[in-house]
Amino acid sequence: MKTTKTRYFIVFLLFVVTAINYMDRTNLAIAGSRIQAAFHLSATQLGLLFSMFTWTYAAAQLPIGYLLDRVGSRLLYGGAIVVWSVCTFAMGFASHPVFATASASFAMMLVCRALIGLAEAPSYLSNTKIIANWVPKRERARATATYISSQYIGLALFTPVLTFMTAHYGWETTFYCTGAVGFVFGVYWLVVYRDPGDSKKTSPAELELIKAGGGYGSQDQSAIGQRVDGRDILFFLKSRTVWGLFITQFAYNSTLIFFMTWFIVYLEKALHLTLSTAGVGATIPYLMAMVGMLAGGFLSDSLLKRGKSVTAARKIPVIVGLALTATIVFVNFFESQPIVAIGILSLAFFGNNVANLGWVVYTDVIPRNYIGTMGGFLNLFGNLSGISTPIVFGIILQRTHTFHYAMWYVSIVAILGILSYVFLVGKIEMLVPPQRRAQDALPVTQGN
């Protein structure tokens, strides 16, 4: 029987939506210095604006994760794409005369960013659940690395374009363009996406391949029943491995948030580049991040194929990657040499994305029907850095007028992530609550 390749098309859809997702997160960073000047914002106020997205994004993770396990990815995700795109488009209206004062425009932008964060809350939870449903375990790290890498391909390709548009046509155009593209794709998603069991383009042979690989319809998926039990959640939250993943995700995200928020401003103010030049210079770290993302995923899968344990195959890229991330502090000594400084930033961002296996490991340790609920906790803890990091940078910059201490902060947090993976994350295997083992006849797995 012919085996279709529909799962590859699904990964492609995730590739596209993730690129759109991150352009809608980063467009504010591109326009940040112009918005700061237009509305006379302090560095702390700009940091607050950068962080506002994450306040609602993080707060929504738990209820969204719970809802995702019941509503499914098609409607929840498609509707979310449309909503966040409309709010992104609306950001461009902050300079409209209807907002009589700079304070009113600033407040309007804060509200829009908060709504975008709320609407984007289902993104990574949906992506993870879709990958777990559609992709066999032996292909999962590569598939995850492939779709996540699109965030950097999109940033590398479109950041120079958007910075040019911002410099020559006004910062508002950044939001109009990215919002319109997202809206069109959101409608397309609602039309074409289906789960494996509902897809008419998927052959029985591919469904069997997915099932045999621990995806849709497998024992992993149905092993713990469909009811979310509070006792099970407590079991997961008591696991040292789960808390290790929480801390490491915070560490990984801290570096990512810098590159999603203050990075362009850093290139302008610390390295003294023009906005257009900063947009071109930013492509190198973004491309290196994409290479790191793919390298981490392919390295992990390669180690599995060579007979290494799941624990070794996941831990080695994470620890090595975070060690490279910590080298970002050396940029403090080369701010007068922009080429060297961008090289150091590129190496750190490369390493940070080699380490980006948190969601892959989550699918290794969390049963399928708990991925939404528990993934909400992972995203909540990881995105606490999205609240803290932009504000910490803003406060440091306002008080010291330098980014030096901010780079020390990012480096130390990366080292904290290494220590977490070494001392808290134990053997990587499926965690099964005790009360479920007997009734589901699953192998006994102790929590760490």
For residue 40, how many other CB atoms are within 10 A of its CB? 10
User: Residue 333: which pLDDT band, with cuts at 50, 70 and 90?
Assistant: very high
On whether residue 181 sits in a domain, the answer given is yes
On whether residue 445 sits in a domain, the answer given is no
Distance from C-alpha of 310 to C-alpha of 364, rounded to nearest angstrom = 8
On whether residue 58 sits in a domain, the answer given is yes
User: Could you report the per-residue pLDDT of 46-84, keeping only the tens digit for each?
Assistant: 999 998 998 898 888 778 877 877 777 888 999 999 999
Q: What percent of the chain has pLDDT over 70?
A: 92
Mean pLDDT comparison of 69-73, 213-217, 227-231, highest-scoring range = 69-73
Of 90, 115, 81, 50, whose CA–CA distance to 176 is shortest? 90
Q: Using the 8-state DSSP alphabet, how is residue 121 labeled?
A: T
Distance from C-alpha of 268 to C-alpha of 279, rounded to nearest angstrom = 10
198-204, long-range: CB < 8 A, 24+ apart: 199/6, 201/4, 201/6, 201/9, 202/4, 202/6, 202/7, 203/1, 203/2, 203/3, 203/4, 204/1
Distance from C-alpha of 221 to C-alpha of 440, rounded to nearest angstrom = 12
User: What range does the domain containing 305 cover?
Assistant: 6-440
User: Residue 275: which pLDDT band, with cuts at 50, 70 and 90?
Assistant: confident
On whether residue 446 sits in a domain, the answer given is no
pLDDT higher for 316 or 151? Answer: 316
| pLDDT exceeds cutoff 90 at 331 | yes
On whether residue 447 sits in a domain, the answer given is no
Q: Which amino acid is at 64?
A: I
Residue 268 maps to which CATH number?
Answer: 1.20.1250.20
Distance from C-alpha of 207 to C-alpha of 197, rounded to nearest angstrom = 8
On whether residue 35 sits in a domain, the answer given is yes
Q: What pTM, to 2 d.p., does this model score?
A: 0.75
Distance from C-alpha of 292 to C-alpha of 315, rounded to nearest angstrom = 15
Q: What b/e sequence results for 379-413 when a residue is b if at least 16 CB atoms lie within 10 Å of its CB, and e otherwise?
A: bbbbbbbbbbbbbbbbebbeeeeebeebbebbbeb
Distance from C-alpha of 4 to C-alpha of 202, rounded to nearest angstrom = 6
On whether residue 143 sits in a domain, the answer given is yes
Q: Measured in whole angstroms, how far is the alpha carbon of residue 59 from the centre of its chain?
A: 15
**CB distance 67 to 298 below 8 Å:** no
130 Cβ neighbours under 8 A, 6+ residues apart: 10, 14, 73
Q: What b/e sequence results for 9-18 when a residue is b if at least 16 CB atoms lie within 10 Å of its CB, and e otherwise?
A: bbbebbbbbb
User: Could you report the per-residue pLDDT of 92-119, keeping only the tens digit for each?
Assistant: 998 888 876 888 999 999 999 999 999 9
Return the pLDDT at 345: 96
Return the pLDDT at 219: 54
On whether residue 448 sits in a domain, the answer given is no
Lookup result for tokens 């810098």: 258
Number of domains composing the chain:
1
